[in-house]
């Protein structure tokens, strides 16, 4: 039987929590993009206790969830945490409320990028270059992707020794390969990365996930 949500947040008007202005639509936007029911979280902390990246995060995973519940968007969107999440799903496996934080972190990264708030700029650059490479060839060509990343990050010489050793061991191919069915890969990327319009705030309810997310098992 479905348990009741931990609490419901009044989305009618912005309020100030600990000196931070809340964004009434923020939770609905995250729910719409992730397909997850944020209010299911009751702050047990199991996700944070098992997170392998928590040692490096500036906000703990359960704190991210709580801020999303409350509509406290700025510290979350400007945090390093959303870029350091490895998407390992350990938190989802441990969560007694079946909340997938990795899907929520994905949604938060999309919002941070669309609002120009991505703090870990090199991680954001790497994400974009990786997805562009997959969209072009259907797979990643490591040498091409790393060359583009190094140019974008203006960091040409770090890791040179490692790159050379990998090349000499035959781990890096000079020429890219394309897979069959690149169009299908492009369609998947397009369907899962386009940001849907903001949901109209529905008082006290959860926004439905977009069709593309539902189709990919997004909750
Ligand atoms: S494990 Fe689940 S219910 Fe517990 S704090 Fe994390 S997201 Fe919330
Ligand atoms: S998916 Fe992200 S938040 Fe969850 S345990 Fe892995 S690194 Fe931590």
CA–CA dist 202, 180 (Å, integer): 43
Backbone angles phi, psi at 21, to 5 degrees: -75, 135
- Ligand 2 centroid vs 55 CA: distance in angstroms? 11
Higher pLDDT, 6 or 119: 119
Pocket test for ligand 2, best of 76, 88, 95 (most atoms within 8 A of CB): 88
Any idea how long the chain is? 219
- Ligand 1 centroid vs 92 CA: distance in angstroms? 8
Which ligand ends up closest to the CA of 83?
2
**Position 6 confidence tier, pLDDT thresholds 50, 70, 90:** very low
pLDDT of 146 reads 86
What domains are there in the chain, each with its CATH number? 16-119 (1.10.1060.10), 121-181 (no CATH)
Which residue ranges have their beta carbon within 6 Å of ligand 1?
A: 41-47, 62, 65, 94-97, 99, 101
Left, alpha or beta for 59 (phi > 0: left; psi -120 to 50: alpha)? beta
- Ligand 2 centroid vs 156 CA: distance in angstroms? 30
pTM score: 0.69
Beta-strand (E) ranges in the chain?
Answer: 16-17, 20-21
**Position 13 confidence tier, pLDDT thresholds 50, 70, 90:** low
**Tens of pLDDT, residues 34-53:** 999 999 999 999 999 999 99
Please choose, from the candidates 6, 91, 28, the residue with its C-alpha nearest in 3D space to the C-alpha of residue 57: 91
Among protein residues, the one with the nearest Cα to ligand 2's atom 6 is 88
CA–CA dist 194, 212 (Å, integer): 10
**Tens of pLDDT, residues 78-132:** 999 999 999 999 999 999 999 999 999 999 998 998 898 887 788 888 888 988 8
**Tens of pLDDT, residues 178-200:** 788 889 989 988 887 665 544 44
Q: Cβ-count burial of 176 within 10 angstroms (0-12 exposed, 13-18 middle, 19+ buried)? A: middle
């Amino acid at each position: 039987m479905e348990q009741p949500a931990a609490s419901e947040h009044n989305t009618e008007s912005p309020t100030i929590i600990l000196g931070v202005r809340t964004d009434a639509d923020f939770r609905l936007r995250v729910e719409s993009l992730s397909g997850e029911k944020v209010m299911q979280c009751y702050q047990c902390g199991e996700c944070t206790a098992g997170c392998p990246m928590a040692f490096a995060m500036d906000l703990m995973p359960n704190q991210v969830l709580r801020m999303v519940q409350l509509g406290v968007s700025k510290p979350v969107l400007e945090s390093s945490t959303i870029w350091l999440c490895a998407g390992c799903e350990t938190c989802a496996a441990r969560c007694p409320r079946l909340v997938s934080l990795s899907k929520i972190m994905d949604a938060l990264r999309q919002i941070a990028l669309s609002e120009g708030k991505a703090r870990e700029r090199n991680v954001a650059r790497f994400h974009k270059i990786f997805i562009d490479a997959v969209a072009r060839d259907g797979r990643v060509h490591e040498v091409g992707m790393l060359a583009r990343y190094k140019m974008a990050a203006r960091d040409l010489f770090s890791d040179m020794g490692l790159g050379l050793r990998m090349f000499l061991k035959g781990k890096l191919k000079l020429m890219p390969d394309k897979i069959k069915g690149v169009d299908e890969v492009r369609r998947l990327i397009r369907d899962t990365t386009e940001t849907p319009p903001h949901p109209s705030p529905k008082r006290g309810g959860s926004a439905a996930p977009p069709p593309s997310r539902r189709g990919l098992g997004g909750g």
